Homo-oligomer: A and B are copies of this chain.
């Protein structure tokens, strides 16, 4: 590498960004030989109770808007200007809503360190014109640096409270990037495994939400645990098939990792995607109305992804090959009777 200490910048400061910045700030302090003590965080500036959010974070050591009640270590430094936040960093941690990825990367061109590596904690896949891109690949392409990815059965709020959780990092370069990211993220309450299959990892993170809608439909129809577990299992198989059909380097073992079966189970047990679908069944409302009521008008990621996956498959005349994903789309968007989702299992 040619550097003494890695300088870490976290790009994003929502609930997940703040939780992970807190964990990173703890970890870098324990490893001064590897990491610079200061963890810079780019914060989208806003006013909270008449003060700037960056000032609140830097003075009170708390992100009162997105992670209230949790103290941040004082080596977390919030910056409102993204170029100041990222300049000379060796490690960029991307943890921001997917709609901001492109504009954010554009601003980073030219200011990043020549030997910089990135990791994407961005949720979802990037659908554009019936194509699918991985956000890690897009970051890598735009900035000309390697980009790994992290995903797993972990909730921001639990990580912030130091409740035990597990996660998976997917990295092309296990020997260098994989090792550094393991040191940056792994700790007693956040158990990280590193794998090479960064593609399968990101596919799991997006498609699990579509499967959670199937689980929610099952719950809404009062189908019981056995039928619900049948949907989860078929969903797992379709996630794997999707990855292996449309991407290279997707391994079966990935689906045994935290980013695979564990995240899928927890998303189908609780979570807003499952809840929205359950409430949709028998409601005589559109999915948009249900989301308006339950999520204050935000879209649940699963419904959006179900639509995008359907368009992707339709463009390739392959909807029949993914009967569960297709049936979720038909029930949510085309008025198909919810009970017809059972047909996907009998396919």
Residues of A with Cβ closer than 8 Å to B? 153-155, 158, 163-166, 188, 191, 223-230, 232-233, 236-237, 240, 252, 255-258, 261-263, 265-266, 269-270, 342, 345-346
Q: In the complex, A96→B201 CA distance in Å?
A: 43
- Residue in B153, B230, B342 whose beta carbon sits within 8 Å of that of A230 in the complex: B153
Q: Is the CB of A346 within 8 A of B225?
A: no
A25 CB to nearest chain B CB (Å): 22
Q: In the complex, A224→B233 CA distance in Å?
A: 21
Of the listed residues A158, A228, A237, A266, the one surrounded by the most CB atoms of chain B closer than 10 A to its CB is A266
In the complex, chain B residues whose CB is within 8 Å of the CB of A270:
225
In the complex, chain B residues whose CB is within 8 Å of the CB of A258:
230, 233
Q: In the complex, A257→B237 CA distance in Å?
A: 9
Q: In the complex, A89→B226 CA distance in Å?
A: 32
Q: Is the CB of B261 within 8 A of A165?
A: no
The 9 closest A-B pairs by CB, nearest first: A233-B262, A229-B266, A229-B265, A229-B262, A225-B266, A153-B226, A166-B230, A225-B269, A153-B229
- Residue in B226, B232, B269 whose beta carbon sits within 8 Å of that of A155 in the complex: B226
In the complex, chain B residues whose CB is within 8 Å of the CB of A163:
223-224, 226-227
Q: Is the CB of B224 within 8 A of A236?
A: no
Between-chain CB contacts (< 8 Å), 9 pairs: A163-B224, A164-B342, A166-B233, A229-B262, A229-B269, A232-B261, A232-B262, A233-B257, A265-B265
Q: Is the CB of B346 within 8 A of A191?
A: yes
Interface contacts beyond A166-B230, A232-B262, A269-B269: sample of 7 additional A-B pairs, CB < 8 Å, sorted by A:
A153-B225, A164-B342, A225-B270, A226-B262, A226-B266, A230-B258, A252-B252
A275 CB to nearest chain B CB (Å): 13
Q: Is the CB of B262 within 8 A of A230?
A: yes
A152 CB to nearest chain B CB (Å): 9
In the complex, chain B residues whose CB is within 8 Å of the CB of A165:
226-227, 230
A166 CB to nearest chain B CB (Å): 5
Known contacts A261-B261, A265-B265, A345-B191, A164 near B227 by CB under 8 Å? yes
Q: In the complex, A176→B346 CA distance in Å?
A: 23
Q: Is the CB of A228 within 8 A of B266?
A: yes
